[in-house]
């Protein structure tokens, strides 16, 4: 498996049977949907999902399938059976790549704001994209995609999240709200100079970077 980082929370996972794209929101370029057979969308916020781009992608690629929660699926009404609603505990297969679904709710931004549904995806048992939540997958994964900066997130929570999830490596995503200096501050907290993350290696990628997943 191979992972390519795009803008903010968007990543592509290539595997033996094809390629999957997760959360192509407003901070990723429209062309990132090219050449994939499925879109996985964690929730409806615009930095993870833009309705017009998904509709355009489905129009351009009749074989493209979308897997997401019910809230996003409602916004995609009219594009037919290409959208599959999934939720916590579900499992499906994408051309030989097993995918499981975990989590139900977006992390709380403020007690006076309603919480939105949010799901995360484990692909091939190896890599987990949690969307906008600190969901701990039921089984340890090799690679955790780690939300780095968000209105709902404290940096100290990331340390505890990595200690609980125990991945081999954490790859930073969801960083568009942080300056380069802010990302560096987080990196020191999550690296060897920090309080300790249970042994997880912390990695950052820029848009277009690709890594091999063990």
DSSP assignment of 113-140 equals: SPPPB--EEEETTTEEE--SS-PPPSS-
Domain boundaries, the chain: 2-209
Helix, strand, or coil (residue 58)? helix
Mean pLDDT of 115-133: 98
Write the pLDDT tens digit of every residue in 11-21: 999 999 999 99
Token pair, residue 11, equals 């990543």
Give pLDDT, residue 165. 97
Helix, strand, or coil (residue 66)? strand
Give the rounded percent of residues in the chain with a pLDDT score beyond 90: 96
Given a contact cutoff of 8 angstroms between Cβ atoms, the answer to whether 29 and 4 are in contact is: no
Write the pLDDT tens digit of every residue in 144-155: 999 999 999 999
Query: Parallel, antiparallel, or unpaired: how do β-strands 201-203 and 91-94 relate?
Result: unpaired
Mean pLDDT of 163-168: 97
Write the pLDDT tens digit of every residue in 39-94: 999 999 999 999 999 999 999 998 999 999 999 999 999 987 799 999 999 999 99
Split at pLDDT 50, 70, 90, the class of 214 is confident
Give pLDDT, residue 163. 97
Q: Nearest-CA neighbor of 39 among 86, 88, 2?
A: 86
Q: Is 146 left (phi over 0), alpha (psi -120 to 50) or beta?
A: beta
Which one-letter DSSP state was computed for residue 177? T
Contacts of 9 (CB under 8 A, 6+ apart): 22, 23, 25, 27, 42, 47, 48, 129, 131, 145, 147, 173, 174
Choose which CATH entry (3.40.630.30, 3.60.15.10, 3.40.50.450, 3.40.30.10) describes domain 2-209: 3.60.15.10
Mean pLDDT of 191-198: 91
């Amino acid at each position: 498996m191979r992972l390519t980082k795009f803008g903010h929370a968007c990543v592509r996972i290539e595997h033996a049977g094809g390629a999957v794209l997760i959360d192509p929101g407003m901070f990723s370029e429209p062309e990132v949907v090219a050449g994939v057979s499925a879109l996985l969308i964690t929730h409806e916020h615009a930095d993870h999902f833009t309705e017009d781009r998904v509709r355009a992608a489905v129009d351009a690629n009749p074989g493209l399938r979308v897997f997401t929660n019910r809230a996003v699926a409602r916004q995609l009404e009219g594009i037919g059976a290409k959208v599959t609603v999934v939720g916590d505990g579900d499992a499906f297969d994408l051309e030989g790549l097993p995918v499981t679904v975990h989590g139900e709710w977006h992390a709380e931004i403020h007690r006076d704001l309603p919480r939105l549904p949010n799901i995360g995806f484990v692909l091939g048992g190896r890599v987990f994209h949690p969307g906008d939540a600190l969901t701990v997958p039921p089984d340890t994964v090799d690679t955790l995609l780690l939300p780095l900066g968000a209105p709902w997130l404290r940096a100290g929570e990331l340390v505890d999240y990595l200690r609980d999830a125990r991945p081999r490596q954490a790859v930073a995503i969801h960083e568009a709200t942080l300056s380069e200096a802010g990302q560096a501050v987080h990196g020191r907290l999550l690296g060897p100079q920090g309080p300790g993350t249970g042994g997880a290696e912390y990695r950052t990628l820029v848009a277009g970077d690709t890594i091999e997943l063990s």
